[in-house]
Structure 1
Amino acid sequence: MSARDISVLLSVILIVAMLIIPLPTWMLSVLIIINISLALLVLLTSMNMQEPLQFSIFPSLLLLLTLFRLGLNVSTTRSILSKGEAGGVVETFGTFVVGGNVLVGLVVFLILIIIQFVVITKGAERVSEVAARFTLDAMPGKQMSIDADLNAGMISEHDARQRREKVGREADFYGAMDGASKFVKGDAIAGIIIVIINLIFGIIIGMTQQGLGIADAATHYSLMTVGDGIVSQVPALLISTATGIVVTRAASDGNLGSDIVSQLMAYPKMLYIAAGTIFLLGIATPINDILTIPVAAGLAIGGLMLSRVPKIDPSEELINEEEIEKDEMKSPESVVSLLNVDPIEFEFGYGLIPLADANQGGDLLDRIVMIRRQLALELGLVIPVVRIRDNIQLQPNEYRLKIKGNELARGELLLDHYLAMSPGGDDDAIEGIDTFEPSFGLPAKWITEETKEQAEIFGYTVVDPPSVVSTHITETIRSHAHDLLGRQETKQLIDHLKESYPILVEEVTPSPLSIGEVQKVLAKLLKENVSIRNLPVIFETLADYGRMSSDTDLLTEYVRQSLARQITSQYADQGSQLKVITLSGRIEKMIAEGVQQTEHGNYLSLDPNDSQRILESIANQIEQLSLMEQSAIILCSPAVRMYVRQMTERYFPQVPILSYNELEANVEVQSVGVVNVE
């Protein structure tokens, strides 16, 4: 622990000790001066802050200062009643400040109590309660606003995280202030009770134990009691004022002093009116002109000086901003900012603006939030923010999706129509505009609202335009997730895993595998639609085999075998049956013999004619399965799986290539086709 932490702990222990252990009067005087200093420091800090969160410790500090002040009250009460004295500071306040007059002192004390309890504390308590309620009610709206700005690309993930944390801290702060204001109210009540106790029991002790007359006892103990009450209420009043300033402070660009001066003096003509009113007040009433004329003259001079300050015309200010923007465009830094490429961009024509405009009922931003959540759960990858913008270069109803600056998907929507996909057979059952479903390329039609019910009766799958574009975005991002996983994103995944599995991460990276090598393994898994969400299992495998080989292709095969249960459940029918296309022994032998080993890794080198015949055989098998409305899955031995994938990924990227070691033992494998060549 640092010296600062220890000093705070010792201060709290001292406060508790004051409630139990009698303190000498000189120490009481020192602590009273410290109490006044702290209260003044808190008041000045509250006036200098720009927003309440800059003084977030105030609720806890308020409790400690209230406890400190009550501890002092207990100590001074003990000293007054037992010794008849409470130190030089209390005596000074009882004699010098109120002139030694007990009645005057009581009146001053009561006025301080009324100001603190009725005016400041009551108002601060109400403001705290309302602020806490309004802040909590506004939290959902603020969170939705942050999510909308994030999805629109106006802010980054880091900025969104900071703004969410700020919203949460504001709610916590005003909730704490609502409770802390009760401390101030209770302190004022306690001050009144302590003064009454000191007066009554002081007179009784003076008469019974010290042999004083009632008049002497009343005078002596009354002065001590009034001095103690005032010396405790002065810092209490300062703290109450600071509480009121904190809870009524609205966020601005300056502190309280600068805001008061700038806003109160914003209208110089008002100073002339105030000066004239004070001047007439001195003439029309018996008030001495010597008092009113200097004040009126000061107000008039202030108004004259403020009127001479040149004000910038709004049009000139706009011109100046445009000139600054032009100068910035000419600077080298403006060119550098153009080099940034957004990870994901969604652009659309002006006819599709209602799709993204919440005021027109568009929910595209909310859908993209759900897409990012869905893909994070499915793939185990944090999808970057999708930057959404309109583009006048596109057709009105056209949209396109870019990943890292490259267009990967394009489509067209008719917002006043529905997309109907035929169940098969006669596709002329309903009338519509012929098109293709953008995600999977299926033949479809754009139909009107009146035809929707009829299409559903005929068994058509009817989808609204927002769902069409959401599905297209989802499938495009899913199929290109490996392009979104770079070294920086891999480092974030590793850091997240390290929070729960630090030993596992240290055994894998930076030795024997670098972040780049781990990234290649994860990208290869994503490229074949294998989720990387189960990072602990992936890193366990990399820890086992990373020291044996740094070949990322081979390491990927080991990882796939470790994820056998996950891969099996992904493709098996209800986890028990799997229909596959197998490779003949001749082809597997041909592929195995065609593997070339180099210092940079292994690759497949087949005769072009042999490759062509194998691909044609695979295409025939896939076509036969498509006629049976079944998805094609190729199953082969572990030794040739990655080479089969290398050969087919250009022509059949969506066809999964599995090995026997990637299937669970309880899965029933049914061969529905064999790839063979003559």
Structure 2
Amino acid sequence: MTAGFNPRNAARIAATSALPAAMLIVVALMVVPVSPLILDISFVGNIMISLLILMVALQASKPLDFSAFPTVLLLATLFRLALNVASTRVVLVSGHEGTHAAGHVIEAFGQVLIGGDYVVGLFVFTVLMIINLVVITKGAGRVSEVSARFTLDALPGKQMAIDADLNAGLLTPEEAKARRQEVATEADFYGSMDGASKFVKGDAIAGLLILFVNIVGGLILGMASHGLGFSEAGATYVTLAIGDALVAQIPALLLSIAAAAIVTRVASPFDLSGQIGSQFSAPHIWFAVGGILFALGMVPAMPQILILPAAALSIAVGWQMKRAQAEAEAAPEPAAPAPDPHHIEWSDVSDTSPCQLEIGYALVNMVDERKGAPLMTRITGIRRQLSKELGFVVPAVKVADDLSLPGNAYRISVAGVVIGEDEVFPNEMLALDSGDLVTQISGRPCKDPTFGLDALWIPKALQNDAIAAGYTVVDPATVVATHLNNSIIASASELFGIDDAQALIDNLKAHYPQLAQNLSPQGYALPRVAALCKALLVERVPLRDFRKIAEAMVALSQQQLGDDELVEAVRQRIGALIVQTIVPSRMPLPVVTFSPDIEVLLNKAVRANPGAEWPFEHGMAMKIVEQIGQAVEPLLLSTRSFALVASPICRAALSRLVRATFPDVAVISYLEIPASKQTEIVATIGAETPRLADGAEAQMEDQSHEN
């Protein structure tokens, strides 16, 4: 065998090249006259193919192990019908010469298997037709139809179960993809088998009609064209017709058995023989059979010489199986190797799921698949929606119970850091105060875990009363899902890593290869691309249109910019995308601005401490945050979208300062607003200039003069 030879690949290549040739041969057999020798070879090949298909079907552990069976069944049926056409031509043209005129195979089936009596042959063929058409084919067709219907009905539930396992961290994305593919293939297979069973039924009916044509046509041709008597024509042509029908019907019977074996299989680690053997290995079954046969053999009219040995054989088989089971149970099980107390596995100290949801024991029913798993379904929808919004695949959320938590509590962690926790009551509803209540209702006061709104936990029976009173009522699963959704958005930068950056570049390479080539590694190293994406996600700038971000980075690649400078420069080039996340394109952008005095003060602070993470003096920072709060809190309470606008010099530092107190406030620079975008000033910060503590302002002015 030569190096690198793969028998599986060789078989695939041979099948690929042989299949078109086989189809041409099938068509040729239908329209081109063939010699009896070629007909004999084709009949033997047909029997061989049918046996091969039957053996593969019996060896399959589950139906999908022979997923090509419907197509193979169609091709085998076409081949057999083509042989019927060719043999009919030979029988009708040369049948008057004798039974040998149609080849040795038809002659053998016509004389040996039917005992030389064509009447017997007719009865044998009729019995085979009844077995094939009425019993095997009809039963297999019914099983295929029911299996296809049940498989299609169960498809959504199986897909949801896979999504639930993926969200719970029980499956990797690759395993989930493979299981989805298997579920889809199973549905396609049973649907195809439902149609393929009609081929088998049609083939059996066609065999009966072809037999009738051969007999009637042979009698007419024999007596009218070749001068044969009725008895002589009947003996010759009926024998040939019966032989032709039997040589085609036996392979058809084998294929029907194979189809029935495939559609009635249940998934098992064993093949059919192993599965049957494992289920017939109970000793008490054989003892019961032996006892019944022994009692039957004691009846005087029964052939005791046959029944009593069969009873003894059954009892002996049962006794041997019981002995083998006893020996297997008595054999000591191999002792598992003792764990090394000094050996520590990576699984003991690490967790591959960056996002986790831990729940108390009272909330387990919310993730129980047998009870609909309302929370798991919502988590799947959250991941899909956030992946579209953020521009990268949000990793699976691992859901696990934690006995250390109170029963109704839950905890949300991202990258090992707890970012949210609260409690919900699975048998109650959360009624949120909408601010426009008609009446008050009684309940357990609390705060909404996501937005901090006043709320009440109420019994489910009061849900309609709460809605009528003006409350917004949500179920516990929605409460947890909403909290998780906002937590993931706030921590999107922690979920994004170098692998996600590489995935973005790979996707870019598939659609814009030249842009991807200039971006990395020629333009920027992968860690720097990931760092820029994380910096954008920190300020809730999505990566949906990564092409624009990549184009901005490539355009700036010739400039020697630091990491922070690169982020600001890229933001200015994708300003339209940033503004679009705040307000729709047709609406003016509401902005909150700073008074000139405040803005000059902020710029001086940044210039005085270039590159500092927190360039603002503490007293000044607190005063700025206080005035920003006075300006934006009415806008936040009214849920109005707006942006805080500052100069490009202080934007980054001001964003870090504001984000600590008002994470939902977008801080942008003047240069990020497109020239065509209309703005609307809704507030101005700095009616009173905040004073710096203990002459810090004069100190910063002196530092700025020195710089």
Matched residue SS, 1:377: helix
Instruction: Return closer, same or farther for 1:429/1:117 CA change in 2, 3 Å cut-off.
Output: closer
1:299 equivalent in alignment to 2:311: no
Native 8 Å contact 1:408 1:476 kept in 2: yes
1:582 aligns to what?
A: 594
Matched residue SS, 2:324: coil
**Where do residues 49-128 of structure 1 align in structure 2 (5 Å cutoff)?**
49-84=60-95, 85-128=101-144
AA in 2 matched with 1:474: N
Distance (Å, rounded) in 2 between the aligned partners of 1:218 and 1:94: 13
1:544 aligns to what?
A: 555
Distance (Å, rounded) in 1 between the aligned partners of 2:261 and 2:324: 30
Q: 1:234 pairs with 235, 241, 250, which one?
A: 250
Distance (Å, rounded) in 1 between the aligned partners of 2:367 and 2:422: 16
Distance (Å, rounded) in 2 between the aligned partners of 1:203 and 1:343: 82
Matched residue SS, 2:412: strand
- What's the CA shift for 1:301? 1.8
Instruction: Return closer, same or farther for 1:672/1:154 CA change in 2, 3 Å cut-off.
Output: same
Native 8 Å contact 2:165 2:171 kept in 1: yes
1:143 aligns to what?
A: 159
Native 8 Å contact 2:114 2:121 kept in 1: yes
- What's the CA shift for 1:231? 0.9
**Where do residues 647-662 of structure 1 align in structure 2 (5 Å cutoff)?**
648-650=658-660, 653-662=663-672
Native 8 Å contact 1:572 1:667 kept in 2: no
Distance (Å, rounded) in 2 between the aligned partners of 1:328 and 1:235: 58
Matched residue SS, 1:97: coil
Instruction: Return closer, same or farther for 1:362/1:197 CA change in 2, 3 Å cut-off.
Output: closer
Native 8 Å contact 1:29 1:89 kept in 2: yes
Q: 1:198 pairs with 214, 223, 236, which one?
A: 214
**Where do residues 493-508 of structure 1 align in structure 2 (5 Å cutoff)?**
493-508=504-519
Distance (Å, rounded) in 2 between the aligned partners of 1:587 and 1:208: 119
Distance (Å, rounded) in 2 between the aligned partners of 1:578 and 1:125: 68
Q: How many residues align?
A: 665
Summarize deviations over 1:392-444 as a string: whole Å, max 9, x none.
21223322111122211121334566555556799x97766554432234555
Distance (Å, rounded) in 1 between the aligned partners of 2:443 and 2:302: 91
- What's the CA shift for 1:335? 5.5
Summarize deviations over 1:491-535 as a string: whole Å, max 9, x none.
334444544444543443343234333222221111111121223
2:645 aligns to what?
A: 635
- Between 295-304 and 510-519, report the one with greater CA deviation: 510-519
Distance (Å, rounded) in 2 between the aligned partners of 1:142 and 1:425: 44
Native 8 Å contact 2:47 2:251 kept in 1: yes
Native 8 Å contact 1:347 1:400 kept in 2: yes
1:211 equivalent in alignment to 2:227: yes
Distance (Å, rounded) in 2 between the aligned partners of 1:251 and 1:570: 50
AA in 2 matched with 1:239: L
Instruction: Return closer, same or farther for 1:45/1:416 CA change in 2, 3 Å cut-off.
Output: closer
Instruction: Return closer, same or farther for 1:253/1:409 CA change in 2, 3 Å cut-off.
Output: same
**Where do residues 564-583 of structure 1 align in structure 2 (5 Å cutoff)?**
564-572=575-583, 575-582=587-594
Instruction: Return closer, same or farther for 1:311/1:328 CA change in 2, 3 Å cut-off.
Output: farther
1:153 equivalent in alignment to 2:169: yes
1:8 equivalent in alignment to 2:19: yes
- What's the CA shift for 1:445? 5.4
Native 8 Å contact 1:594 1:606 kept in 2: no
1:623 equivalent in alignment to 2:633: no
Which TM-score applies when normalising by structure 2?
Answer: 0.84
- Between 22-31 and 536-545, report the one with greater CA deviation: 536-545
2:3 aligns to what?
A: none
- What's the CA shift for 1:195? 1.3
Distance (Å, rounded) in 2 between the aligned partners of 1:450 and 1:207: 91
Matched residue SS, 2:170: coil
Summarize deviations over 1:22-59 as a string: whole Å, max 9, x none.
12221111111111111001111111111111111111
1:372 equivalent in alignment to 2:388: no
AA in 1 matched with 2:624: S
2:44 aligns to what?
A: 33
- What's the CA shift for 1:536? 2.9
Q: 1:224 pairs with 234, 240, 244, which one?
A: 240
- What's the CA shift for 1:299? 2.0
Instruction: Return closer, same or farther for 1:105/1:425 CA change in 2, 3 Å cut-off.
Output: closer
1:593 aligns to what?
A: 607
Distance (Å, rounded) in 2 between the aligned partners of 1:190 and 1:71: 12
- Between 667-676 and 220-229, report the one with greater CA deviation: 667-676
- What's the CA shift for 1:80? 1.6
Instruction: Return closer, same or farther for 1:655/1:393 CA change in 2, 3 Å cut-off.
Output: same
Summarize deviations over 1:536-564 as a string: whole Å, max 9, x none.
32333334334555754444334433433
1:133 equivalent in alignment to 2:143: no
1:518 equivalent in alignment to 2:529: yes
Q: Which runs of 5+ in 2 are unaligned?
A: 1-11, 96-100, 692-707
Native 8 Å contact 2:84 2:248 kept in 1: yes
AA in 1 matched with 2:102: A
AA in 2 matched with 1:593: R
The alignment's C-alpha RMSD in Å is 3.5
AA in 1 matched with 2:591: K
- What's the CA shift for 1:175? 0.9
Distance (Å, rounded) in 2 between the aligned partners of 1:455 and 1:201: 86
Q: 1:262 pairs with 278, 284, 290, which one?
A: 278
- What's the CA shift for 1:621? 2.9
Native 8 Å contact 2:361 2:401 kept in 1: yes
AA in 1 matched with 2:265: R
Q: 2:620 pairs with 613, 631, 634, which one?
A: 613
Matched residue SS, 1:635: strand
AA in 1 matched with 2:206: A
Q: Which runs of 5+ in 1 are unaligned?
A: 597-602
- What's the CA shift for 1:194? 1.0
AA in 1 matched with 2:289: A
**Where do residues 182-581 of structure 1 align in structure 2 (5 Å cutoff)?**
182-266=198-282, 268-282=283-297, 284=299, 288-311=303-326, 327=338, 332=343, 336=347, 338-357=349-368, 363-415=374-426, 419=430, 435-442=446-453, 463-546=474-557, 548=559, 551-572=562-583, 575-581=587-593
AA in 2 matched with 1:388: V
Which TM-score applies when normalising by structure 1?
Answer: 0.88
